[in-house]
Each structure stands twice: as C-alpha cells, then as structure tokens.
Amino acid sequence: MAKVLILIFLALSIRANCTQLIEYCRKPPALFVFGDSFFDPGNNNYIKTTTLDQANFWPYGETYFKYPTGRFSDGRLISDFIAEHAKLPLIPPYLQPRDYDSYCGANFASAGAGVLPETFQGAVIDLRMQLKYFEKEVNAAQLRKKVGAFDSKMILSNAVFLFSIGTNDYISPFVLKNSSMLPSHQEYIAMVIGNLTQVVKAVYKRGGRKFGFLNLGDLGCLPGLRISKPQNGSGCLEEASTLAKLHNEALQNVLNKMKNHLKGFKYSLYDFNTFLRQILNHPSRYGFKEGEKACCGSGHYNGIFSCGGKRGVKEFELCKNPNEFIFWDSYHLTESVYKKMARQMWYGPSKGPYNLTQFFQCL
C-alpha cells in the first residue's frame, strides 16, 4: 500500500511539474543584455559620469520616444527591437527601479563601456561590473523572491544573453589620441577576447546556455574616426577597421571553441560588420540617402561629437529626417538601421549555428 501511495504521489508531482513547464513555455524567455551604447537604454543616467557618456538630453530619442531616454540614437536600439520580436516589453535599465510582476530579464549595458576595465575607466560600467550586477540580480534567494521557486530554476537555463561589447576598447585610443600607446594588435585583441571569454564563462556557470553576439562594425568608417584622417581626408581610418576585422576573426574562433568544450553552450553571432559595410557602400539600396555624414553633430561628416550641444561644442547641426541617414551622431546609428539589423539577427542568417528566433523558443 505504501508503495502505491508513493507512486501516486510521484505521478501527481510529475504531472504538476509538467503543467508548470507547459505554462512556463507559454512565456517568452527572459532577456539579459550586456554591452555598450548600442544596447544601453539609459543605465548611464544613474551613474556619475560625463555628457560624453550620456544621452539624456534633446535631440536624442526624438523620433520614437519624443523625449531623451538615455539611448544613443534618435529612437530604439537593437536590443529594444529584439525584445519586441520576442513579445517582451522593452527591457529597462538595470539601475532604474523596476517592479517584478512579470519578470522579463535585465539590461546592464553602459554607453562607453569596454571589455577592459581601463576603457573610459571611472566614467562607465565596464563589463566586469555588469557581470557583478548580473550575479546580484540572479542570486538564488533574490530571484526566488521575485518570481517564485519554479520560475527561478527555469529562467537562467532558458534565458537569452545578448552581448554587444568591444567597440570602445578599440576606438578609445583614437578618441583619446594615444593610439601609439597600444601594444601590438595581436596582444591587445588577445586581452579583449580573453576578458570577454571569462565573463561569458561566468554567465555559463550561473546557468546561461543561449548567447547572442554582435561582431564589430567597420570602426574606421564611423564619422568620429573618419575625421581623424590627416586634413579630414576622405575614406575610413584603416587602422581602426583592421582592429575590428582581427577582433571579429578571434571572436568567431573562441565561440567555436566554447561550443565544442562547454556542454549545452549555444551561440548566435550577428555579422554587424558585413551588413554595415553593405549599407555604407550602397545606402540607396537600403532606403538611405546619406551614408557618411551623421544626422547630428558638427564639422566634417558631422564627426565632432557635439550632438545636443552639451559636450564642449555647443553649436551643432541636426538633419530634418533621421530615417534618411545611416549615422545618427558621430559614433552611433539611427533607429532605422537598428531596426533592419535586429530583423536580421532575429531571422538570420547567423555566423553561428542559431538565429535568435530559435533561442526564444522553449528548447
């Protein structure tokens, strides 16, 4: 009789757990976001930093939000569009007070952040600190308190982790005019990739299994770096573009290694670089009229980082229609470009085995 009761209890428990699992799979997976200004929805609004690393003033946000949110664009970012594709609300800044009636994840990204702590040190939330915020966010006791025991077990194994990081590590020497102080390209890239790998593995140890990455764009073609060429010459700053190319090759290699050595590790790698080059070379093919000059800024190509007039140079130019431009300001893209990129990330193709559509299914 005791054995029968035990079997009945086990059957009921399994049925209850399956019912919970079915219900859980009706919810989109949580989205955790790490990175820089391509993903920051306004975390830098809440830290002591400079206007160089903030976008909480007009005309930022003017196209979609109609007010500045802290996003470095005229509207939404790639991470916002991914959330929309996944039928999640926009993931707010981690540092912004939030309620947990419906847990959707967290966004730790910080404009100006790099993989290396030394990148714009003291003014941004570097990747290591973002990891610490994540570990605090998903502390077992804290997560159970927010979402309940069952969901807390499922969230991390089914969550999607997005990374956009590295750009600032490579452009900061040019922005700060000390590129001659860099170690050899290979040494520097190895430092960046090594530190990124450590953070990804730390998230993996916490239970993360589904990772989405962007590789780096053609950095030398950013308006803010184009003007670094002698006498404002035409064309891109090749040294910066070369660093991006070498980084992207190293990133692809290390992701393949992690896939082969970490059980259950899955990744999607969006080729940000190739698509950006395509639209820069053929803007009209993608619905744009201007592929070199930024919508907002001053100087040649509007490459002086003056958008909003709160970064030393008060006078700046603002285009009438950001949708016609690829670049919003000296270093960032318009909402129209981010929307196209997010759609590609969602549906593929990917330089990794998966696209994001697959990641947001209950695997």
Q: Is the dihedral of CA 187, 188, 190, 194 positive or negative?
A: positive
| Greatest mean pLDDT among 63-72, 100-109, 155-164, 178-187 | 63-72
State residue 1's pLDDT score: 54
Of 25-39, 116-130, 224-238, 271-285, least confident by mean pLDDT is 224-238
Between helix 335-347 and helix 272-281 the angle, nearest 10°, is 130
Alpha-carbon distance 185 to 213, whole Å?
22
For the ranges 202-216, 259-273, 328-342, 348-362, which has the lowest average pLDDT? Answer: 348-362
* Contact predicate 249/192, CB 8 Å: no
**Catalytic position from the list 74, 332, 336, 350:** 332
Taking alpha carbons only, the member of 325, 327, 322 closest to residue 305 is 327
Q: What is the pLDDT of residue 340?
A: 97
**In the block, residue with structure tokens 């960032």:** 332
pLDDT band at 23 (very low <50, low <70, confident <90, very high): very low
Query: Is 37 a residue of the active site?
Result: yes
Task: Give the chain's radius of gyration (CA, Å).
Answer: 22
- Residue 24 — pLDDT band, cuts 50, 70, 90? very low
The answer to whether residue 101 scores a pLDDT higher than 90 is: no
The model's confidence at residue 10, banded by pLDDT at 50, 70 and 90, is very low
Distance from C-alpha of 111 to C-alpha of 162, rounded to nearest angstrom: 15
State in Å, rounded, how far the first CA of the chain is from the last one: 38
Confidence of residue 363 (pLDDT cuts 50, 70, 90): low
| Count of domains observed in the chain | 1
In a domain, 46, yes or no: yes
Mean confidence (pLDDT) of the chain: 88
Own/partner long-range contacts of 62-70 (Cβ < 8 Å, ≥24 apart): 62/322, 63/322, 63/323, 63/334, 63/335, 64/335, 69/41, 69/42, 70/40, 70/41, 70/42, 70/43, 70/44, 70/45, 70/111
Query: DSSP assignment, residue 222?
Result: S
Instruction: Give a yes or no: residue 143 inside a domain.
Output: yes
Q: Is residue 321 part of a domain?
A: no
pLDDT higher than 90, residue 142? no
Q: Pick the catalytic residue from 37, 79, 164, 172.
A: 37
Residue 204 lies in a domain: yes
91 located within any domain: yes
Domain hosting 163: range is 30-282+333-359
326 DSSP assignment: S
Q: What is the pLDDT of residue 9?
A: 38
Residue 161 falls inside a structural domain: yes
pLDDT in tens, 163-206: 999 999 999 988 887 655 567 889 999 999 999 999 999 999 99
Asked if the model's pLDDT at residue 59 lies above 50, the reply is yes
Q: CATH no. for residue 260? A: 3.40.50
Query: pLDDT band at residue 38, thresholds of 50, 70 and 90?
Result: very high
Tell me the average pLDDT across 287-302.
96
Is residue 275 within 8 Å of 215, Cβ to Cβ? no
Catalytic residue, chosen from 40, 126, 151, 329, is 329
Please report whether residue 300 resides in a domain.
Answer: no
Residue 9 lies in a domain: no
Residue 252 pLDDT greater than 90, yes or no: yes
| Residue 90 per-residue DSSP state | P
